[in-house]
Chains A and B, each alone.
Chain A
Amino acid sequence: MIDLKKINLEKAIELIKQKKISSKELVSFYLKEAEAKKELNAYIYLNSDNAIKLAEESDKRIANNNARPLEGIPIAIKDLFCTKDVLTTAASKILSNFKPAYESTVTQNLWDAGAILLGKTNLDEFAMGSSNETSFYGAALNPWSKNKKEYVPGGSSGGSASAVAGGIAIAATGTDTGGSIRQPASYCGIIGLKPTYGRCSRWGIVSFASSLDQAGPMTKTVNDAAIMLDVMAGHDKKDSTSANLEKTNFYNNLKINKKLKIGIPKQYKNDQLDKEILNFWELGKEFFKKNNCEIVEIDLPHTEYALATYYIISSAEASSNLARYDGIRYGFRKDSEEIINLYENTRSVGFGEEVKRRIMIGTYVLSAGYYDAYYLKAQKVRSKIINDFNQAFEKVDVIFTPTAPTDAFEKGTKIDDPIKMYLNDVFTVPISLAGLPAISVPIGLSKNDLPLGFQIIGKRFDEDSVLSAAKIIETNANFKKESD
């Protein structure tokens, strides 16, 4: 008897191909588990009826030896990806009734490979948040919560992280603008990969900040992340920022053992960092050394300016990207006698506090008289941050850092202090600003018995090295996957 709870994506693909399990069994299992673990609040929508039907079709293909790479595999999708005729909310009231007439490129790629939509996962409203607490549907719960303490799963892809860590999804998609895949992956003890900007098409993903948004996989293993990314990635003519590159083969390339030069940025070692994180960092270095990798100290001098740069740029872009939610063509409308009132009432009621705050900040930094001092300044500092990485990558293949400054925190402890909340992203945003690929891999448990992840950053479009390095940590850390 196969214990479905224990298998990862790679294994499930193998078992389905060997007809040892059926797609219907796998899909039913996850639907049942998801129903049973409603307290995680990981899903905004479960695709119960359709998923079974699709699984039956997949089983027919498998019977006819006509299976595609992800045939019959149920995948959880962050509710920021537009899914045709399926509710797509961005966890916002303003899209709470929105059913797109189209399918995002990334999810279409998954369905074309035979995968099945399991459900739409919870997130921070419009992906703005680091704890999932800004969701209109309430926060998802970190499955590692225990002793009556409720921990956040991180954000914004908290629902996806919670689902994979909680055993109610075999794999999920996320999006990462400033750390939204990596930080929740770290908090929940799973793998989260943010690819290079341009690797996955942004078409059909509800935009937060166009120059930063990037889709990626959230999985149980490094191999699973590679399998997912091979399907999700690819050039898309409908996205003018999509990279036109050859078909990837990350999964196969993972079998090659790489001797890597690992960079350790000295600016990431700040005084506030907990001793246990520093210890895990040392442990990680040992794992690399053991695998014939060289450790090199590097300099990323503008690291401390990344957060401010990120908040200016992402909020500016968001203020403009979210202008389309005006209650006219789709989504929530608060009826009014007069058009300006219609806009203001719709947006005031339709958006949550954090989203409004960021729209206001973004509007402010772009407005006449402030543009040069804030927005333009941030764009220039962004150039300097990119240049830091360019210089560092002349010396090393990948960079190794903690994913977040702490382990998961308790619900409600940071939500009233925006800046404190923003500080969660201190290690992830510089990478986003530079558009680089990075992965978070669990390395061990904190003294609170919560997972801690470490981040591996690569050169542009060198996900191969990122995945190889991640595999070294994964293999050596031997992190206990189950949260219970």
Chain B
Amino acid sequence: MTNLKDWETVIGLEVHAQIISKSKLFSSASTNFGSEPNTQVSLVDAAMPGMLPVINKDCIEQAIKTGVGLNAKINKFSVFDRKNYFYPDLPQGYQISQFSQPIVGEGYIEIDLKDGSSKKIGITRLHLEQDAGKSVHDIEPSKSYIDLNRSGIALMEIVSEPDIRSSEEAQEYVKKLRSILRYIGTCDGNMEEGSLRCDVNISIRKKKFQSRSLLGENILSELGTRCEIKNVNSIKSIGQAIDYEFRRQFDVINSGNEIIQETRLFDEKKGETRPMRSKEEAHDYRYFPDPDLPPLEIDEEWIDKIKKNLPELPDIKKENLINQYKISSYDAAILVSDKSNVEFFDKIITGNKKRNAKNVVNWIIGELFALLNKNNLDIKDSPIKAEELGELIDYIEDQTISGKIAKNVFDEMFKTKKRPKDIIEKKGLKQITDTGEIESLIDKVLNNNKDKVDEYKSGKEKLFGFFVGQVMQETKGTANPGIVNEILKKKLAN
């Protein structure tokens, strides 16, 4: 009897990332999302007779930037090919893509896993291609509606090596890839709007032996038959689809059957995969070099310029954060996982050199993220701006308010979007640090509670907290607790 835990998945991912550009890859129509149907379509995008493609320079630059971000080789000579197939939302009857000579060759990215380890995932290639249009199937029962607004938008297809072994690794890979794309500004990574889409190639096999053979090589079991899962369009779906498919393929093999190589569709609602009906007929894409487009030549100078101007990548930023601010690797990883987090942190830390990095990180990762999550908000839409959180932290540091009061002010800021200064003043939350004032308050409390003072002095020392509490009550919590403690101790010692 075969056991599930003796088996592993072998996964390769094909990620389609929509390039951030104003106009399309081969036409000057807009790439805006969500416009009226067929309003962002040029004669080229609709494949009118005699229309010809002219390439968008910025899209090439975006692909090179991404290639550099993926530690990959940029090919100075690459070729556009036609991938031929019929589909109603593919107006030309072919997609202009890159087949045997892509713009970007081998590279890798490093992912961090929950157990604290990290792993390199190989990138096979990145190539440029056109997106197809959109078919809408649910307006009329017997008809499909075709909108070509998306037709011709530039995509980067980023293909990984089959280095991924679990749903967690696949999810971390996509998260990391997305974060890199966002850092360098080549793709917004928005999976809901379809600007980042994922196809999963998955097969399963018996795990390799832990020991090495006599020759010192790892003994690998052979790769199984793979299935391609399409339409996996969220990080959560990636996990679900892989877990489902692992189980399904295992069950097929375990019951003595064979896996059929096929394209399957992930059903988000049911959380399962099913074979795609339209892909049943064997495809033969008849790739050949597009005679309408000369080969793409990129000179060294251009690549160098791009390398020089490339924004800091997450891995490097993380190292810098750890070295410069002495924050933990864990905290640094959370900060860099999203470019907006780091920007928020950077703004606070550079706003006032005296700010303590560890405190700033705690406020962001602890308090701010908790409230943002609760309210389902992105850090970019945070009601508390970086400057304001910085100010709040300063008020704690200079003892204007106590840490405890600060939490209340923070909640108020989140609710009302007011500046901390205004809240503190309006509510009179400024901390009392005047020893004279505190001393007279303490005298008042001690005078009013002479019996308790006697009890304390006769040995009931836990009443100390009671006196502190009384002072705090008198000042609505604004008295500096350190000073209160100090004076109270002195007075009660007499």
Contact = CB atoms under 8 A, between A and B. Distances in A.
A327 B146 CA distance: 13
A237 interface: yes
A45 interface: no
A345 interface: no
Interface string A360-382: 00010011100100010000000
Which of B52, B53, B146, B290 has the most chain A CB within a 10 Å cutoff? B52
Given A316-B288, A368-B284, A371-B288, A326 B46 contact: no
Contact of B53 (A100, A211, A240, A337): A240
B48 interface: yes
Given A323-B93, A366-B84, A329 B46 contact: yes
Given A240-B293, A317-B291, A367-B286, A324 B52 contact: no
Contact of A210 (B47, B49, B291): B291
B46 to A, nearest CB: 6
A206 B84 contact: no
Given A238-B52, A240-B293, A329-B91, A324 B288 contact: no
A102 B43 contact: yes
Nearest to B54: A240
A88 interface: yes
Contacts of A203: 50-52
Given A240-B55, A324-B91, A330 B48 contact: yes
Contact of A326 (B53, B54, B86, B142): B86
B201 interface: no
A90 B49 CA distance: 10
A291 B50 CA distance: 43
A367 B292 contact: no
A343 B86 contact: yes
Contacts of A100: 48-50
Given A240-B294, A317-B291, A320-B286, A328 B49 contact: no
A78 to B, nearest CB: 12
A467 interface: no
Interface string B259-298: 0000000000000000000000000101110111110000
B299 to A, nearest CB: 18
Given A210-B291, A366-B288, A324 B54 contact: no
A368 B288 CA distance: 11
A330 B51 CA distance: 14
B167 to A, nearest CB: 33
A276 to B, nearest CB: 38
A245 interface: no
A343 to B, nearest CB: 6
Contacts of A132: none
A319 B84 CA distance: 9
A473 to B, nearest CB: 33
B94 interface: yes
A323 B294 contact: no
A101 interface: yes
Given A326-B86, A339-B88, A366-B84, A375 B51 contact: no
A104 B48 CA distance: 12
Contacts of B50: 82, 100, 104, 202-207
A320 B285 CA distance: 11
Contacts of B23: none
Interface residues of A, number: 43
Interface residues of B, number: 31
Given A207-B50, A320-B93, A363 B286 contact: yes
Given A320-B288, A367-B284, A329 B47 contact: yes
A165 interface: no
Given A210-B291, A366-B286, A366-B288, A320 B47 contact: no
A380 B290 CA distance: 16
Nearest to A330: B48
A128 to B, nearest CB: 15
Contacts of B288: 316, 320, 366, 371, 375
B442 to A, nearest CB: 85
Given A102-B48, A320-B94, A367-B284, A328 B54 contact: no
A364 B46 CA distance: 26
B233 interface: no
Interface string B23-62: 0000000000000000000010011111111110000000
B48 to A, nearest CB: 7
B82 interface: yes
Nearest to B80: A240
Nearest to A344: B86
B100 to A, nearest CB: 11
A102 B86 CA distance: 25
A28 interface: no
A316 B82 CA distance: 11
Contacts of B480: none
A239 interface: yes
A317 B292 CA distance: 10
A76 interface: no
Contacts of A88: 49
Interface string B310-336: 000000000000000000000000000
Interface string A68-84: 00000000000000100
A206 B49 CA distance: 5
Interface in B243-257: none
A474 B43 CA distance: 43
A366 B146 CA distance: 29
A299 B84 CA distance: 39
A328 B48 CA distance: 11
A168 interface: no
B478 interface: no
A204 B93 CA distance: 18
A386 interface: no
Interface string A224-243: 00000000000001111100
Contacts of B82: 320
A190 interface: no
A363 B93 CA distance: 13
Contacts of B284: 367-368
A392 interface: no
A1 to B, nearest CB: 43
B92 interface: yes
A399 B214 CA distance: 71
Interface string A404-436: 000000000000000000000000000000000
Interface in B419-474: none
A54 to B, nearest CB: 23
A88 B48 CA distance: 12
Contacts of A355: none
B87 to A, nearest CB: 9
Contacts of B146: 328
Interface in B101-155: 142, 144, 146
Interface string A88-105: 101000010010111010
Contacts of B144: 339
Contact of A211 (B48, B54, B291): B291
A326 B93 contact: yes
A442 to B, nearest CB: 31
16 contacts: A101-B43, A202-B50, A239-B52, A240-B53, A240-B292, A241-B291, A241-B294, A324-B49, A324-B91, A326-B86, A328-B88, A329-B46, A329-B48, A339-B88, A368-B284, A371-B286
Interface of A: 82, 88, 90, 95, 98, 100-102, 104, 202-207, 209-211, 237-241, 316-317, 319-320, 322-324, 326, 328-330, 337, 339, 343, 363, 366-368, 371, 375
Given A82-B50, A240-B54, A241-B294, 11 more contacts: A209-B291, A237-B54, A240-B53, A320-B286, A322-B93, A324-B49, A366-B286, A366-B287, A366-B288, A367-B284, A368-B286
Closest 3 CB pairs of A and B: A323-B93, A211-B291, A366-B286
Interface of B: 43, 46-55, 82, 84, 86, 88, 91-94, 142, 144, 146, 284, 286-288, 290-294
